Amino acid sequence: ELKVEQNPLFLSMQEGKNYTIYCNYSTTSDRLYWYRQDPGKSLESLFVLLSNGAVKQEGRLMASLDTKARLSTLHITAAVHDLSATYFCAVDSGGSNYKLTFGKGTLLTVNP
């Protein structure tokens, strides 16, 4: 059974600080996804990482993938309040059968 573990599950940080969310998974899949969810809303795709060493950046968020370590990181630079949300990583089952298994999510709160 594919397992996806995120940590931390709760993260409270101050504006302007940097932090990293970690996502470990148990399969050899090399496709990793990051989503954002605001309270009561749907999931918004942030990044799709498709190979070992992939790095993608959008604004203050940067995601990377190490398939050998089965680890992805989501790095937050100089956090701002608008980044407060729940962040999910997900891994698919590989091949053409790409159903996603999600982590439990990291609830990020950025305080002024």
Partner 1 sequence: DARVTQTPRHKVTEMGQEVTMRCQPILGHNTVFWYRQTMMQGLELLAYFRNRAPLDDSGMPKDRFSAEMPDATLATLKIQPSEPRDSAVYFCASSFFPSSYEQYFGPGTRLTVT
Q: Which residues bind partner 1 (CB under 8 A)?
A: 31, 33, 35, 41-45, 48, 50, 88, 90, 92, 96-105
CB of 20 to partner 1, least distance (A): 21
CB of 96 to partner 1, least distance (A): 7
Residue 70's contacts (CB-CB under 8 Å, 6 or more residues apart) are 24, 25, 26, 27, 28
Report the distance separating Cα 67 and Cα 92, nearest Å. 13
The strand pair at 4-7 and 19-25 is best described as antiparallel
The strand pair at 55-58 and 61-66 is best described as antiparallel
Of 44 and 82, CB closest to partner 1: 44
Of 64 and 88, CB closest to partner 1: 88
Report the distance separating Cα 61 and Cα 12, nearest Å. 16
Of 1 and 112, CB closest to partner 1: 1
CB of 78 to partner 1, least distance (A): 27
